[in-house]
């Protein structure tokens, strides 16, 4: 058993398998999941686990080159967006319409579905390298 960090086996494997420029998505339970993309559904009930809990755990272990979020998050999920921006200060970000974000999802290697029910609580993290 690990001493600390993520204990979920599927999430550990997903992070370990990501290569440079691969996408990992942290999503709300309403985001449509493309058929061929691996989904790790950790949603339990509305709000559990929350976006920030999952985001913090993943970003502690994942090297991130950039991230993408839906522009609708600026109004509907402003607090979560500020949280992401503060935690990823200095990491390049791209803001796109939610419909465009959904079209990028088939390129994701894995999507982690949370219980977060804030509208547009979806962030695409682009994997980086630590050398």
pTM (2 decimals)? Answer: 0.96
Report the chain's mean pLDDT, rounded to a whole number: 96
Mean pLDDT of 116-120: 96
**Residue 1 has what pLDDT?**
74
**Residue 64 has what pLDDT?**
97
What amino acid positions are annotated as catalytic residues? 20
Q: Pairing state of beta strands 108-113 and 23-27?
A: parallel
Q: Residue 79's pLDDT band (boundaries 50, 70, 90)?
A: very high
Residue 2 predicted with pLDDT over 80: no
Q: Residue 125's pLDDT band (boundaries 50, 70, 90)?
A: very high
Q: What is the pLDDT of residues 30-46, one digit of tens each?
A: 999 999 999 999 999 99
Q: Residue 4's pLDDT band (boundaries 50, 70, 90)?
A: confident
Give the Cβ contact number of residue 86 at 10 Å.
Answer: 8
The residue among 115, 110, 104 whose CA lies nearest residue 127 is 110
CB 66 within 8 A of CB 22: no
Instruction: Characterise 111 by phi-psi region: left (phi > 0), alpha (psi -120 to 50), beta (else).
Output: beta
Q: What is the pLDDT of residues 46-72, one digit of tens each?
A: 999 999 999 999 999 999 999 999 999
């Amino acid at each position: 058993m690990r001493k600390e960090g993520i204990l979920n086996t599927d999430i550990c494997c997903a992070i370990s398998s990501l290569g440079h420029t691969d996408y990992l998505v942290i999503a709300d339970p309403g985001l449509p999941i493309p058929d061929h993309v691996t989904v790790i559904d950790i949603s339990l009930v509305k709000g559990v686990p929350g976006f920030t809990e999952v985001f913090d755990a993943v970003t502690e272990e994942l090297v991130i080159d950039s991230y993408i979020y839906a522009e609708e998050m600026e109004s509907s999920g402003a607090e979560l967006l500020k949280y992401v921006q503060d935690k990823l200060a200095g990491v390049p970000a791209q803001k796109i319409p939610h419909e465009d974000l959904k079209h990028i999802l088939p390129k994701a290697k894995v999507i982690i579905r949370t219980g977060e029910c804030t509208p547009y609580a979806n962030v695409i993290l682009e994997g980086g390298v630590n050398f």
